Amino acid sequence: MKIISKVTVLVFCLCAYLTFSSSAAAKIYIDIDAPSFQQFPIAICDLQPPTASTEKTTESGIAMADEIKNYLSMTGIFNILNKKSFLEDKDLSMVAAAENIYFPNWAMIGADYLLRGNITKINNEIFVESRLYDVTRGELLFSKKYNSKNNELKKVARMVASDILFTLTGDEGEFNTKIAFVSKNKSDADICTINYDGSEIKNVTNHKSIVIGPRWSPDGRYLAFTSYRDGRPEIYVRDLRNGNDKKMASFEGLNLCGSFSPDGNKLLLTLSKDGNEEIYILEIDTMKLKRISHNYSIDVSPTWSPDGGKIAFVSNRSGSPQIFIMDVDGNNTKRITFEGNYNTSPSWSPRGGRIAYEGLVNGKFQIFSIDEEGNNLLQLTFDNAKNEYPSWSPSGRQIAYSSKINSKNKICIMNANGLNIRVLIERANSSLMPSWSPRFK
């Protein structure tokens, strides 16, 4: 028996050697939108000193592994295995060349993927090498080197996490994104931004007024919003490069801001200058205005489909506020929500297909999503808080929303299926209307 197992190991090692020697960093695309998708089970080993070194695992190696885990868990699609469950002896992992990994030990604990790496610190500069393995196939997926002159552990960890995500999903995820939101203190509000990892809360505007509905331009340079700074609701566009505000609409009556078109050339508005609250398209360069809704009722909160062909909006034309879809020319208007009598704040998934919104159920606002045909309704939040203003992440895998209960004002991020809720920010001030930025370069 012993002999057989020895032979097996030998054969395995040989196979593994052959595979690895020929392996280029292969891309794997897994359909993480499939209903059957759970999470990627991944084992992250503490980073080790370089191969030749005789040092033991250093503090920075543990800290780096923890940061990588932290970033991966933000994405909501990784099941990060507890390192206490690792069967492999830590000292053996010192030499992390692929052929020394005994993959069945990792498969045994349920890992589909394995991350190993090394870290060296010279003065204030850190050098990191990380290697991602497919445990099931026994393959090296990538081996990459990183360095940071200022000992920026988090920055390197984010790059490693980003490479893992890209290798497994084919996109960069949301690591390089921000979330804009309205921060309200009593009756004064302004727009703030916060990074995806919860760092760097910045004040963007200083209007100290009623401010609502920030929307990012597709290039991430501008934020459009509604503000009462000059005493009444007008639409502004803030250039984030120089901090200048430009007034975009200041018609008689209501001027409310909707979303940018996917090409960034147009802005959706709600105006009441013609009497009723109607939806308009403003061509930004020419300031040409085109009215696209014609109805006696309230038409508000327009948002563009990612292909630019359609607009979702809220209307009370059938009595209560409901979500509708129409073509960009205003034709083929169709109601898509029929459950509940108060459905507002539509947000179109960047991948298309689904629209998230807030709806009133048993006296509480909750987040829902529904497909463009009005089918496959999903309730995503269920707690006792007031859950409002959903906004999709660029990958379409996550949704940010505001969640208020008693004096706790949170902005949360959840997976598009409602699982893996993470609190991005919690404060005493109202934190409302989160809007997810595009990816920054």
CB of 207 closer than 8 Å to CB of 234: no
CB of 205 closer than 8 Å to CB of 190: yes
Under rule CB under 8 A, residue 337 binds another protein: no
Residue 160 vs 256, nearer CB to another protein: 256
CB of 369 closer than 8 Å to CB of 352: no
Sequence length of the chain is: 441
State the DSSP string of 272-285: -TTSS-EEEEEETT
Residue 197 vs 358, nearer CB to another protein: 358
Applying CB under 8 A, among 233, 340, 350, 438 the residue interacting with another protein is: 233
Residue 186 vs 241, nearer CB to another protein: 186
Applying CB under 8 A, among 342, 353, 427, 439 the residue interacting with another protein is: 342
Under rule CB under 8 A, residue 358 binds another protein: yes
Under rule CB under 8 A, residue 340 binds another protein: no
Half-sphere exposure of 241 (CA within 13 A, CB side): 4
CB of 309 closer than 8 Å to CB of 326: no
Phi-psi region of 325 (alpha: psi -120 to 50; beta: other; left: phi over 0): beta
Under rule CB under 8 A, residue 212 binds another protein: yes
CB of 359 closer than 8 Å to CB of 343: yes
Under rule CB under 8 A, residue 320 binds another protein: yes
Applying CB under 8 A, among 23, 261, 270, 437 the residue interacting with another protein is: 270
Residue 93 vs 391, nearer CB to another protein: 391
Under rule CB under 8 A, residue 253 binds another protein: yes
**What burial class does residue 200 get, using C-beta atoms within 10 Å of its C-beta: 0-12 exposed, 13-18 middle, 19+ buried?**
exposed
Under rule CB under 8 A, residue 275 binds another protein: yes
- The least distance separating another protein from the CB of residue 384, rounded to whole angstroms, comes to 14
Question: Which residue carries 């990074």 as its tokens?
Answer: 195
Under rule CB under 8 A, residue 300 binds another protein: yes
Would you tell me how many other CB atoms lie within 10 Å of the CB of residue 151? 13
Applying CB under 8 A, among 49, 117, 213, 396 the residue interacting with another protein is: 213
Name the 3-class secondary structure at 52.
coil
- The least distance separating another protein from the CB of residue 274, rounded to whole angstroms, comes to 12
Under rule CB under 8 A, residue 13 binds another protein: no
Name the 3-class secondary structure at 62.
helix
Under rule CB under 8 A, residue 162 binds another protein: no
Under rule CB under 8 A, residue 247 binds another protein: no
| Single-letter amino acid, residue 68 | I
- The least distance separating another protein from the CB of residue 26, rounded to whole angstroms, comes to 46
Under rule CB under 8 A, residue 190 binds another protein: no
Query: For residue 9, what are its two tokens?
Result: 């190991």
How many chain residues are in contact with another protein, going by CB under 8 A? 34
| Single-letter amino acid, residue 262 | P
Applying CB under 8 A, among 44, 314, 325, 416 the residue interacting with another protein is: 314
Applying CB under 8 A, among 272, 398, 409, 437 the residue interacting with another protein is: 272
List, in sequence order, every residue forming a beta bridge with 413; answer none if it has no partner.
400, 422
Under rule CB under 8 A, residue 150 binds another protein: no
Looking only at the bridges linking them, the beta strands covering 255-260 and 244-249 are unpaired
- The least distance separating another protein from the CB of residue 416, rounded to whole angstroms, comes to 21
Cα-to-chain-centroid distance, residue 414? 9
Would you tell me how many other CB atoms lie within 10 Å of the CB of residue 208? 14
Residues that bind another protein (CB under 8 A): 186-187, 210, 212-213, 226, 228, 231-233, 253-254, 256, 270, 272, 275, 277, 298-301, 314, 320-321, 342, 344-345, 358, 360, 365, 388-389, 432-433
